[in-house]
A and B are shown apart, each in its own frame.
Chain A
Amino acid sequence: MGKDTLLTDRVFKSVGTRPMRPDGIDKVTGRARYGADHNMSGQLHGSILRSPHAHASIKSIDTSKAEKLKGVKAIVTAKDFKTKGITDPGLLDIIDNCMAGKKVFYDGHAVAAVAAVDAKTAKAALKLIKVEYKLLKHVTDVDEAVKPKAPVINNKCFTKGVDPTPGKASNVAKRSEFGHGNVAEGFEAADVVIERNFKTGQSHQGYIEPHACVASIGPDGAGELWVCTQGHFVFRQQCAEILGLDEAKLKVTSSEIGGGFGGKTHLWVEPVALALSQKANRPVKLVMSREDVFRASGPTSATSIDIKMGVTKDGVITAAEAELRYTSGPYAGSWATLGAMTAFACYDLKNVKTVGLEVLVNRPKTTAYRAPSAPMAAFAVESMIDELADRIGMKAIDMRIQNAAKEGTKSSYGPVYGPIGIGPTLDAAKNHPHMSAPLGPNQGRGMACGFWFNFGGQSCTDLNISSDGTATITVGTIDVGGARASLALVVAEELGIPYEQVKAVIADTGSLGYNEMTDGSRGTFASSMSAIQSCRMAIADMRQRAATLWEIDVDEVVWENGQAWAGGESNSNHPPLSIADLAKSAEKTGGPIAGHAQIVADGAGVSFATHICDIEVDPETGQTRVVRYTVIQDAGKAVHPTYVEGQFQGGAAQGIGWALNEEYIYGEDGRLQNPGFLDYRIPVCSDLPMIDTQILEIPNPNHPYGIRGVGETSIVPPLAAIGNAVSNATQVRMTHVPMSPPRILAAIHAQAASDDSSDD
Chain B
Amino acid sequence: MNKVFLWGGLRPAAGGAEFVEIEALTIRELLRKLAELHPKLETLIDSEVAVSINGTIYQDDWSKNIPADAEIYLLPRIEGG
Question: What residues make up the interface of A, taking CB atoms closer than 8 Å to B?
Answer: 88, 90, 160-163, 174-179, 205, 261-263, 265, 334, 337-338, 341, 355, 368-372, 411, 413-418, 453-458, 519-522, 600, 602-605, 702, 712
Contact = CB atoms under 8 A, between A and B. Distances in A.
A416 B75 contact: no
Given A457-B59, A602-B57, A368 B81 contact: yes
Contacts of A163: 11-12, 16
Interface in B54-81: 54-61, 64, 71, 73, 75-81
A415 B52 contact: yes
B72 to A, nearest CB: 9
Nearest to A604: B57
A694 B5 CA distance: 37
Given A341-B75, A416-B71, A161 B55 contact: no
Interface in B23-79: 47-48, 52, 54-61, 64, 71, 73, 75-79
Nearest to B27: A602
A177 B52 contact: no
Contacts of A341: 75-76
B81 A265 contact: yes
B28 to A, nearest CB: 13
Closest 6 CB pairs of A and B: A262-B81, A520-B80, A177-B8, A163-B12, A368-B81, A519-B80
A440 B53 CA distance: 50
A152 B48 CA distance: 25
Given A415-B57, A418-B55, A605-B56, 14 more contacts: A160-B9, A174-B9, A177-B7, A177-B9, A334-B77, A355-B8, A369-B81, A414-B75, A415-B54, A415-B71, A415-B73, A520-B78, A600-B61, A603-B56
Given A162-B12, A177-B9, A418 B79 contact: no
A178 B7 contact: yes
Interface residues of B, number: 28
B59 A519 contact: no
B78 A600 contact: no
B8 to A, nearest CB: 3
B56 A457 contact: no
Contacts of A372: 79-81
Contact of A176 (B61, B71, B76, B79): B76
Nearest to B56: A603
Given A415-B73, A417-B55, A712 B80 contact: yes
A455 B59 contact: yes
A463 B76 CA distance: 34
Nearest to A411: B55
B25 to A, nearest CB: 17
B66 to A, nearest CB: 13
A667 B73 CA distance: 44
B73 A414 contact: yes
A341 B7 CA distance: 10
Contacts of A455: 57, 59, 78, 80
B60 A457 contact: yes
B14 to A, nearest CB: 10
28 contacts: A90-B47, A161-B8, A177-B7, A177-B9, A262-B80, A263-B81, A265-B79, A265-B81, A338-B79, A368-B81, A411-B55, A413-B7, A415-B71, A415-B73, A415-B75, A418-B56, A453-B78, A454-B80, A455-B57, A458-B60, A519-B80, A520-B78, A520-B79, A600-B61, A602-B59, A602-B64, A702-B56, A712-B81
Contact of A334 (B11, B61, B73, B79): B79
Contacts of A702: 56
A162 B10 CA distance: 9
Nearest to A600: B61
Contacts of B56: 418, 602-603, 605, 702
Nearest to B50: A455
A368 B58 contact: no
Given A457-B60, A600-B61, A415 B55 contact: yes
A262 B80 CA distance: 7
B55 A602 contact: no
Contacts of A453: 57, 78, 80
Contacts of A177: 7-9
B7 A176 contact: yes
A346 B80 CA distance: 19
A456 B54 CA distance: 17
Contacts of B11: 163
Contacts of B8: 161, 175-179, 355
Contacts of A411: 55
A603 B51 CA distance: 11
B75 A413 contact: yes
B81 A370 contact: yes
B7 A519 contact: no
A334 B71 contact: no
Contacts of A521: 80
A128 B10 CA distance: 50
Contacts of A370: 81
